[in-house]
A and B are shown apart, each in its own frame.
Chain A
Amino acid sequence: NAGVMQNPRHLVRRRGQEARLRCSPMKGHSHVYWYRQLPEEGLKFMVYLQKENIIDESGMPKERFSAEFPKEGPSILRIQQVVRGDSAAYFCASSPGQGPNYEQYFGPGTRLTVT
């Protein structure tokens, strides 16, 4: 299966801990997007990355959140000192190119629960 892969699928963290979410894009895709879906809310864009570059992080909270997409390995979304409001489903999407003519395909998501 060459689809977008995310792990872990479920993650439980206590308040104040760190959460690391991983995403491997679809084969042949080099563009990665992270979205967050809060309960009863729509999907919200967080950040767009290409290999070794953050292109657009306009949707990222200013503090505690960071993302990377290294030359080798998966993209990582890192949340430091998690709070209960961070509990959500975090989805990664990938596309083969950038722009309005490229579809974004979503991974299965990581469901983060902060206790």
Chain B
Amino acid sequence: QKEVEQNSGPLSVPEGAIASLNCTYSDRGSQSFFWYRQYSGKSPELIMFIYSNGDKEDGRFTAQLNKASQYVSLLIRDSQPSDSATYLCAVHSGAGSYQLTFGKGTKLSVIP
């Protein structure tokens, strides 16, 4: 059973701070990793994806991947109240698999 684990939160950070969201996965052969943002009652919105070990930056977002530790994280710099949402970590197991396996999400609250 392939599993993706996230701390459900809520994670509360003050406006302007760095929010750090973490995710671990059980399938060591997993090849690609995605972060989605989901506002309450809305659909998942793709924020970032990462395939290789290390960091990948896009604006205020940085994804970090450590395949040896089976760990992926998302950093949000200069957090804004509009970042308050549930963040979903999703993992693709690679060739022969077609689906994304999602964690249950971490609820982030940015306090003004």
Contacts and interface: CB of A to CB of B under 8 A. Distances in A.
Interface stretch (A11-19, A42-50, A61-69, A70-78): A42-50
Interface residues of A, number: 24
The range of chain B's interface size is 20 to 34
Contacts of B94: 99-100
A43 B34 contact: no
- The secondary structure that dominates the A interface is loop
B101 A45 contact: yes
B92 A43 contact: no
Interface of B: 4, 31-32, 34, 36, 42-46, 49, 51, 88, 90, 92-95, 97-105
Interface of A: 33, 35, 41-45, 48, 55-56, 58-59, 91, 98-101, 103-109
